[in-house]
Structure 1
């Protein structure tokens, strides 16, 4: 198939195929080739390939099936850390399937689309995922990362540490969040961790809640300060932190990440280098009375560190 005007198509039996269609928008050749190769193996593999294209702009028909694949991968991500999950078919949200079936875009075979067809394609997608996972070695998180690194962040707890320079007593802010899914543009959607207790309430979501909190439990076994936060329920609220409290987290980043918790902090901290002082000079700060030595020597110099002007005493200490 050499044409680049491709579109997903449903057959009367509800099978998902990739066909040439003159009315379809033209696809970039590398993307078209990837999709051709995947759909040649079956509809489930084609859907899995679309689920990996989270950052690419796609025509409406492809975006529609990418959204469907994204629902499946989100269900996998929110169960991947649970010891209860036996890697069986993750349940599909019937309400979402019915909504998707009623909102199909223009594409060949759209008249055959029903919630029941989506259920069957969900199963096909599961078997494609399981086959590829087994061939990749069986590590779910590594396989999700191979599809697209952003999928490895969905369904996981994030510890977020930021500066709050206006608060001299507690110049750091801490917030635990979790990623419940991806936006239409492929960006992870962060929600406060406390929201998970409401979103995953009930026996039906027990597996997802355990999967989400298991890395925190592992990390708490290694970090006494975190264990105390969990016991006091502080992990589910925004917190003001002193430098000493922030240092505890920074010191234990390797242990937290080993347990499966994602740590997010300002990018400037990740380089492993101390901040550099910045020197600013202003020449001619006063209107000169005339041309002379006073005008030539009229300048002002200051040194700042991370936006804060240093006093002569602080500069001398450096």
Structure 2
């Protein structure tokens, strides 16, 4: 029996760089949720070509979409995440400008799937669409009378804007407690459009007569607390409001939960070595490097094995120490891994 065809929504890049949506026949099964989302995307595209891509970026990533649409959802989704993680977004509103780096553009370009008009996909086109996302948000929020958070929740009910709370983790010279943690909050923007960081303990003094504002400030912390035993304990003991010296184990427990904190709307300032790609251990093994002085198998074969952590050679003792840390941080060659 011949399989029935249905239609799915695909994105087409026109020669002039315009993004266009078209319904195309497919034999693939389409779930109800995917079908409804595709219909909503097309209706928004037909109604307002400036805002549909912003809607796509906020759409549920768990709902499957055709590859071309999913690609642009990931692209516009990067804009949506950066927007939600922008400090003082409510104060900035239409003046906010979300940036994208050249490296990020190259990454998006490298992972583009096959799509109609893919030959027109360039970094310049991606950058132009990013600019349109900025313009679309700016114009839309100018016309919106409510808060930025309410506006974004019309696109994504579960979205959380970044709050005014920051978590900081830095390295410390104390060997017993090699890390230091501190929570800060940002003051409101001044007339120059700038804010400054203050230790979170100052908030207790600033809002001692306004418990409602203190609770509002700590909203993102309480969101994180729901999924973090660590934050729950810091809140319960009051240690969250004071600088803390941490062991490597405590720092590792914190670092593992960074995605949870950021999803809750807390910005984290952490060492660059954790943000970057993890350095892998590799073995360089060479055979027969030395010229034999005498004939014989033992003389002919010579071995030279070297262990590297990233590009840095490590000793056998350092390798054993690294292996002993089945989970956690190890200090090797003057850096944490």
Q: TM-score, structure 2 length as denominator?
A: 0.48
Runs of 4+ in 1 over 6 A off after TM superposition: 211-216
The one-character-per-residue Cα deviations of 1:140-192 (angstroms, maximum 9, x if unpaired) are 22212222133324x3467xxxxxxxxxxxxxxxxxxx6xxxxxxxxxxxxxx
SS of 1:194 mapped into structure 2: strand
2:158 pairs with one of 145, 150, 158: 150
Which residue does the alignment assign to 1:95? 103
Contact 2:17–2:120 (CA under 8 A) maintained in structure 1 = yes
Contact 2:207–2:214 (CA under 8 A) maintained in structure 1 = no
The one-character-per-residue Cα deviations of 1:53-103 (angstroms, maximum 9, x if unpaired) are 124232322221111111212222232515884724322222111211122
Which residue does the alignment assign to 2:14? 11
Distance 2:27 2:45 in 1: 17
2:77 is aligned with 1:74: no
Distance 1:68 1:125 in 2: 11
Higher-RCO chain (CA-CA 8 Å, sequence separation at least 6): 1
2:64 pairs with one of 50, 57, 61: 57
2:214 is aligned with 1:255: yes
Distance 1:12 1:33 in 2: 25
Deviation of the 1:5 alpha carbon: 1.4
Distance 2:214 2:154 in 1: 24
2:108 is aligned with 1:105: no
The one-character-per-residue Cα deviations of 1:101-124 (angstroms, maximum 9, x if unpaired) are 122112111111111001111122
1:24-35 to structure 2, matched below 5 A, reads 25=28, 27=30, 28-35=34-41
The one-character-per-residue Cα deviations of 1:242-291 (angstroms, maximum 9, x if unpaired) are xxxxxxxxxx6862325654413448xxxxxxxxxxxxxxxxxxxxxxxx
SS of 1:92 mapped into structure 2: coil
Contact 1:220–1:226 (CA under 8 A) maintained in structure 2 = no
2:122 is aligned with 1:114: yes
Contact 1:47–1:69 (CA under 8 A) maintained in structure 2 = yes
2:141 is aligned with 1:133: yes
User: How many residues are treated as equivalent by the alignment?
Assistant: 197
Distance 2:117 2:187 in 1: 38
SS of 1:14 mapped into structure 2: coil
Contact 1:82–1:210 (CA under 8 A) maintained in structure 2 = no
Contact 1:156–1:212 (CA under 8 A) maintained in structure 2 = no
Structure 2 residues not aligned, in runs of 5+: 1-5, 172-184, 190-194, 228-337
Distance 1:85 1:49 in 2: 21
